[in-house]
Amino acid sequence: MSESSAPSPRIPVPRTDSWTPDSWRAKIVRQMPTYPDAAAYRAALAQLAALPPLVTSWEVETLRRHVASAARGESFLLQGGDCAENFDECRPDTITAKLKILLQMSLVMVYGSKKRVIRVGRFAGQYAKPRSSDVEKRGDVELPSYRGDMVNAIGFSAAERVPDPQRLLRAYERSALTLNFIRSLAAGGFADLHHPEYWDLGFVHDPDLLRDYRRIVDTIRDAVRFVGTVVNRDDAEVHRVDFFCAHEGLHLDYESAQTRRVPRREGWYNLATHFPWIGDRTRQLDGAHVEYFRGIENPIGVKVGPSIEDDELVALVERLDADGEAGRLTLIHRFGNGKIAAHLPRLVEAVRRTRRAVTWVCDPMHGNTESTGSGFKTRNFDNVLGELEKALAIHRDSGSVLGGVHFELTGENVTECIGGACGLTEADLSSSYKTQVDPRLNAGQALELAMLIAEKLRA
């Protein structure tokens, strides 16, 4: 995130309908918890609405322009982070590790693709999660499902699973702390391109991977120093990079409480994040989430999977991108390695007929989740890579552009996904399996994927 001067404002097309940040309440609301203490819930939302915004409108507009460039193939969007943040992990070492791996991956992609990489973290707000069932049963005990730290606690007791309104305020506070630390790191030279070797993660042990990465680091460092010497100046742009934050806009009361008008700009901005997205479970055309998202000025995303029909996607695109502006809508497809070839080509063609300049992003994680015989949820590195390779080929063959990737990853040395150069097997999963919800790539697996993506983009 950059705190540089505000760019010239984009002028939104004035809305002629009756949309407001609360008009979604008249629609069918899915994946929203029920709070037993209604008065405490209203009081927490009132507090949330009175607090300062977490991001600025000019940061939102800057990201929107970057996303538009990704739709044209001029840049590439890298989105990554935890499947679900938790309050206890709001620590400097955890946050720094996430930034390091995103920086490493982006450095490799810039080097390989010769394109600007847009860094978007799944952090500072990813505290709510959709669930396939409202209840969780263990033995004879049935309790409300865990819906993320924003709503309730993961411990399996009646007291911990009751939705607590104060957790909305804690999610805001943790998000603010995370953003503040990220901004401080970025402004303080953490991402200085003169010293990319500072971003090394010591537990990436594969020798070939480390050798290739260090070669890229040496090449970029030499190039930066050469340019600085030739032009006889020390450009501030190489001392810092921009980071943007994103989360699934699942809890609509939380999102609408931070939705504001901004002086000297038209329209409404969700200032809880730069880039909110709609999940595959809440993208119904007549639903509350689509109603809310269609009215905000942020760049927005929608997850789409195998169940969506062509006409349904066309209607969704036209509803969410009524003005047809590039950078407004990102379609994040998540099919699975075995299904992408059957579904992506037809959806690309359907969207082409709308003449909307959407940005296509591949999420190769969610469609490739599987369970082992020992009860662990995992993802196979080969399936993740396979879906990415097919996505690149399908977009190329369709005359389309894959504008980015969306990963669930961590900078920690976890053992949650099998495969990759680190050689993790099913037997290794129990050694450092830390996720509360979905399995994540570890730093070595994420960096290996970035190397492979860079090769494909260069080709």
Q: What is the pLDDT of residues 75-114, one digit of tens each?
A: 999 999 999 999 999 999 999 989 888 988 888 888 888 8
Q: What is the dihedral of CA 351, 355, 357, 362, to 10 degrees?
A: 10
- At residue 350, what is the residue type? A
Confidence class for position 207, pLDDT limits 50, 70, 90: confident
- The whole-number pLDDT of residue 331 equals 98
- The whole-number pLDDT of residue 17 equals 72
In CATH, what class is 23-192+243-458? Answer: alpha beta
pLDDT in tens, 118-172: 999 999 999 999 999 999 999 999 999 999 999 999 999 999 999 999 999 999 9
- The whole-number pLDDT of residue 3 equals 40
- The whole-number pLDDT of residue 5 equals 43
Q: Is the pLDDT of residue 307 over 60?
A: yes
- The whole-number pLDDT of residue 223 equals 62
Helix (H, G, I), strand (E, B) or coil at 64: helix
**CA 415 remoteness from chain centre:** 21
In this structure, what token pair is assigned to residue 275?
A: 């880039």
Q: How confident is the model over 348-375, as a mean pLDDT?
A: 95
pLDDT in tens, 208-266: 777 777 777 777 666 656 555 554 545 544 445 789 999 999 999 999 999 999 998 89
- The whole-number pLDDT of residue 194 equals 59
Beta-strand relationship, 244-248 and 116-122: parallel
Please state, rounded to an integer, the average pLDDT across all residues of the chain.
89
- CA 403-404-407 angle, 5° bins: 165
Helix (H, G, I), strand (E, B) or coil at 87: helix
> Between the CA of residue 29 and those of 234, 237, 282, what are the distances in Å?
52, 44, 8
- The whole-number pLDDT of residue 67 equals 98
Q: How confident is the model over 371-386, as a mean pLDDT?
A: 94
Q: How confident is the model over 368-386, as a mean pLDDT?
A: 94
Q: Is the pLDDT of residue 457 over 90?
A: no
- The whole-number pLDDT of residue 222 equals 65
